[in-house]
Structure 1
Amino acid sequence: MADPTPPSPAKDDDDASDGGDEDLLKVDLLATLDDALAYIHQSFPQDDEAGKVRARDAALRVADDLLGGDPAGRDLMDDAIDVLQTRTLKRVTARPSGRSFVAVDAAFGGTNGGRYACWTDFCTCEKFGEAAARVSTKVLCKHMLAARLAPLCSKMEAQDISDDQYHSYISCRYVEL
Structure 2
Amino acid sequence: VGKGMTGGKLVLVPPAGSPFRSEQTAIMGNTCLYGATGGKLFAAGVAGERFAVRNSGCHAVIEGAGDHCCEYMTGGMVCVLGKTGYNFGAGMTGGFAYVLDLDNSLFDRLNHELVELQRISGEAMEAYRNHLGGVLHEYVDETGSAWGAEVLEDLDNYIRRFWLVKPKAASLRALLRTTLANPQ
TM-score tier by shorter-chain length is under 0.3
| Structure with greater contact order relative to length (CA < 8 Å, sep ≥ 6) | 1
**TM-score of the two chains, using structure 2 as the length reference:** 0.24
Specify which structure has the higher proportion of strand.
Answer: 2
Query: Which of the two has higher C-alpha Rg?
Result: 1
Specify which structure has the higher proportion of helix.
Answer: 1
